[in-house]
Structures are given as C-alpha cells and as structure tokens.
Amino acid sequence: MTDKQPLNQAVFTWDGPHGLPRFEAVKDEDFKPAFDYALKAHDAEIDQIADNPDAASFANTIIASEIAGDELSRVSALFWNKAGSDTNDVIQQLEREISPEMSRHYSRIGQNEALFKRIDTLWEGRETLGLTLEEMRVLERHWKGFVKSGAKLPKDQQQRLAAINERLASLGANFGQNVLADEKSWALYLSTEAELAGLPDFLRDAMAGAAANRGEGGKFAVTLSRSIIEPFLTFSENRELREQAFNAWTARGENDGLTDNRLIVAETLQLRAEKAKLLGYPHFAALKLDNTMAKTAENVNELLMQVWEKARLRALEEEADLARVIADEGGNHAVQPWDWRHFAEKLRTQKFNFSEGELKPYLQLEKIIEACFSVASRLFAVKAVPRADVAGYHPDVRVFEIRDFNDNLIALFLGDYFARPSKRSGAWMSSFQSQHKLLLKSGIKGEIPIIYNVCNFAKPAEGKPALLSIDDARTLFHEFGHALHGMLSNVTYPSVSGTGVSRDFVELPSQLYEHWLTVPAILKEFAVHFETGEPMPEALLDKVLAARTFNSGFGTVEFTSSALVDMAFHTREPTDEPMTVEREVLAGISMPSSIVMRHRTPHFSHVFAGDGYSAGYYSYMWSEVLDADAFDAFMETGNPFNPETARKLKDNIYSAGGSVDPEDAYRAFRGKLPSPEAMLRKKGLAA
C-alpha cells in the first residue's frame, strides 16, 4: 500500500442497489489513497467556504458546511465499518495511522479563524436570520462545535488542544485493538464429558463451531465472546473451569503484556482533564455534560446513587439466596463472581420452574428478527423486504429494504449478527449514510438512510438454528431500536439526522424498543420451538413474564458500578494509577465481592476506545428513566400498539433526530418529563 496506489472510485461512487456501496469492489489497499484524496478535497471545500467574499449567510456557510466532505464521509463510513466488524492487520495498521490524521484534520477545521468568524457572526445575529427551529439547532451545533475545538483560544492553546486530540485519537484506537487482541487470542478448549458437564446442546454446538473456526475441529472452545462466555458461566458444572474462564474475561486489557491498557487509561485521563481545563471547564465530565439532559455530574451521581442503594440491597438479598442454593448442594464456599450466573440459573429454575435452556429453543434468531420487523410494522407502518440477491460487506450480512405501506423506499438496513474473531465484541448500530433533504453537489436532493446493526451471537453449526438467550433477544431489539431511530429520521440537515442527539437521549429509542419483546402477543407469535414450530406454552410464557425482574439487583449493580467509576474518572484529578480509582470507588460504595463491574477499566471500550461514552456511560440509565415512562404511555391506554401514542412517538422521538431539544421532544410526546419511579418499578426495585 503506497501513495501511488490508484484511486478506486467505488469507494466514493455507491452505485449498488438503491445507492448501496458495492462492497466487493473495495479492497483494503483502496482506503489509504481514498483517505488522502478525501481529506484534501474536504480541506479545499472548507477553504472555499471560509474565503467566500460574500457576507456570511446560513446558506453559504452552514448549509455549505453540512454538505461538504461527502467523499470523506463515504470512505470513513466504509473504513470504520470494516475496522469494527471485520478487521485484519492491514486495517488495524491504517486505523493507527488514520485516527490521529483525522483528528488533525478536524482540529484544523475547528480552528479555522475565517470560518469561525463567519459562523460567529451568524450566531451573534441569529435572532434576525428568520431561522426555523431546526436551523437554529444546526447553527448552535456548528457554533458550539467550533468553541469546543478551541476557536476562541489563543494560538498556542489551540495548538496544544489539537495535539491532545490527536494523541487521544491514537490512544483510543490502540485501546480498542488491545481488547480485540486479548479476546481473539484466548480460548479454552474442552473435550471430555467432565469438562463439558452441564452444557446444553445449543452451547456445545456454538463452542464446536468456535473451535472449528480456530482450527481445532473436534473440540469445544470457550471464547471471550459474550454469547459463549456468559452461557458457559451459567451452565458449566465445572467450577474450576468457570473460574479460569471468568478470570480471562475480566482480565482483558490487564495482562502486563503488549496489550495491557492501564497506561493508556492513565494517559487518556490526564489528557482529557487538560483538554477540559483549556476549554474552561473544571473537569472533563463538565465538558461532556454541557450539552446533555443531565447537564451536571452532580445530577448524574444523584440518579446513580439513588438507584445504587436499592440495587445493592437487592443484590445482597440475591447473594444470600444463592448461598442457600450452594449449601443445599453441599458446597461450603462463598458466592464468587464466577459462581453467580451458575447458581442464579439454578435458583431461577427453582423459583419459576424454568431454565434458560428450556427457554432458548423458543428464541430462534430468525424469528426474533421477524419479531423486530413486526413490531416496527405495527407501530410505525413500515415493512422489511429481504434482498438476498444483494451482497453485504461480509457473507453473513443480510440486506433489507425498509418500505412504508405505500411501498415507498425509506431506508436500507443491513444485519450482521454472528461473532467472528475479526469483529470487536458487543453490539452496535451505525450508518453508511444518514437521512437528509439537502441538495448535494452531485445534483441529488436528499439521501435515504443506510443503517446497519452489528451483534455477536454465537454462530451455529451448519444446518442448526441460532438460538438466543433472552438477553440476546433484548440486545437484538435494542439495536434495532437504534436502527429505527436512524431509518425513520425525517429532518432536513445531516448533522441532526437520526441518532444525532445528546448522548443521554440517544438510548431512549433503543431501550424503549426492548419493551415490545416481552409483549405477550409478540412472544406468542414469534417465540416458537425450533423443531416443532409450536408456540411457547402459556405456562412457560407466564413464567418468563413473572421472572422479568429476577436477578435485577445483580444486573443493576454491574451497570451502576461501572457508571460511577466512569464519572469518578472524569471528575477527579487524574492519577498515574487509575486502577486505584476503580478500587476506591468500589470500596466507597461497598461493592459486593460476589459481583464485578460490567466493564472493568482496562476493557471499558465504551469509555476508552474513543470518547463516545466517556463521562457518559450513565446515559443508559438516564434513558432508562425515559423509556420506562414512555412505555407506560402505551400501557395506560391498554394497548401496547396504541396508534395515536405510536404516532406521537414516531413524530416526536424517532423521526425528529436532533432537530428539537430533547426535553421539548419528550414533553411533546408524553406531556411531561419523567421521574425515576417507573424505571425502578421496571427493575423491581421500587418499594
């Protein structure tokens, strides 16, 4: 790969069906020259806007900026998709190069004096411009973006801020690659019945497939993919193997080797704190929370601690119940973190007379995907049309047209559901293209959204169905909720399209969508046995619904401890030993020794593989307050698919993007802002 590599126009000219990229036509070696070209082209466009001799106007400055950089947007969308979902050594090397280069590029734009002067002039005179509400929001977003890029700082401080951002980009890329390397390199191969004791057939099939993919045919691999490690910890009767696997899972990024992330965390926190102070904020959390619903770290911590106290007490009750199960089996050990899932499953079987293994045959991936589409159809009058003839970016990827009931195409959706060693862990939604209505340089007016979901479910053996846990099924609904937020977007400007909203509002559409998974009508139709096709028995369905809050103390402690540590990292003065902060916070809140953080610091990718959720992991809970109250709006009508409530939800939440202030958007839907009570009831933590 050299600078002389010819430019592949397939990177920029997406002439597949409905404007989809022709993924097969783009090779790894095409990205470097494409980035080189696109960065220069964007620079030229920015200079043209900044140096325009005409007086600044919304059209020649803001709209021009909104449509600039189309080539860079396209190569970036293709590249970051590849880096996250199907990476390799070539892509990772370029990721390490391009992350700081992109940071330098956007720092140059953010510190372009001539361009900021034009935007600042518009901002100062904004009340005289006759702007719509959406246009005012777009102008504000551009102006604040420049201010946070250092546009108002002296030159020497601008240079320092740019250097910080560049270094942070490199650190984030390295952090994520280190976690992936640890996940990819570790596997525990099992072969004897003693080692496999307790493991149900669906898990054995997934582990056999994972072993075969790693060149160990005939064995069974425990990997660090959540879709394998969690059921292994749940079902394995071999306590020694559970401990071995659990310790490997929680030690990702903390191994004293080349992939150890602790020094990266320390440097990241130092630089974030310095950046915040340069921009006039007391700490990094204040900088990140400036444009959110929560607004201050104090508000965040107040919510987290309100929930923490209730969750911790519930978790201690749950731990005592698990200790009794252990004692009843003749065990004489305390509940350890590698025991919790195993004995919780046994306790659930006792209390509700069903097990995860009994439920799983009714949760086929294919049927849960259908359920996602069916809920969207009932709520939002859209349908998914599979396009098996259209290639995605990997053989496992499915492509769908999303159409309204008049058969108008409104979006393209790609689903990438199975784990592979080249894919980072977790689940996410992203886009190749966002919805907007602007006239582009090409003469095309507006673009439809091209959205994708990535998950990491265990891929079954050939000819076997992929069976999900209830948590997997929730994940599928969650990410499709994000996808709908992108696909139902109906705004004019790209910067406020779809998920272009504040961090603690962006999880509302996704977490709200999870509620429909357990609506009885949906389970009755789509939770059918993979062998017989029979629907889930009424008795089992009743047990599943009755058990919705089982083990909620454990899950809430896992999450809330992680969110509290995140906030502590970004409000305290940084230290060379950030792991002491993790320990101090957990000791200060009396973290039960039987539970660990959902994401320990050295592999907390939400927070350190880039800054997307830094000082923002709390946002899942903030949005959960909203989503519990929002679903109540449906239940208060007696119909989970109430048409009028669904219309308000679509118009004010799913379609509005960032064109409206989130508080105003929520009030327009619900008539009021929520309190935490509905969320606490949903978790079974309310009195």
Enzyme catalytic residues: 479
**Distance separating alpha carbons of residues 196 and 201, to the nearest angstrom:** 10
Give the residues across from 386 on adjacent strands. Answer: 400
H-helix segments, 221-283: 226-235, 239-250, 262-278
Extract the tokens encoding 321: 């119940």
Extract the tokens encoding 420: 């592979």
Q: How many CB atoms lie within 10 A of CB 333?
A: 10
Which residues make Cβ contacts (< 8 Å) with residue 7, sequence separation at least 6? 30, 33, 34, 37
| Residue at token pair 């551009």 | 142
CA distances from 321 to 51, 316, 337, 503, 593 (A): 70, 9, 15, 37, 15
Burial of 239 per CB tally in 10 Å (0-12, 13-18, 19+): middle
**Distance separating alpha carbons of residues 636 and 648, to the nearest angstrom:** 15
CB 332, CB 357: distance < 8 Å: no
Burial annotation 359-383 (CB, 10 A radius, 16+ → b, else e): bbbbbbbebbbebbbbbbebbbebb
CB 211, CB 442: distance < 8 Å: no
For 653, which DSSP code?
Answer: I
| Alpha-carbon radius of gyration of the chain | 25
State the first-to-last Cα distance of the chain, in angstroms, to the nearest integer. 63
Helix (H, G, I), strand (E, B) or coil at 220: strand
Q: Which of 49, 66, 40 is nearest to 145 (CA)?
A: 66
Burial of 429 per CB tally in 10 Å (0-12, 13-18, 19+): buried
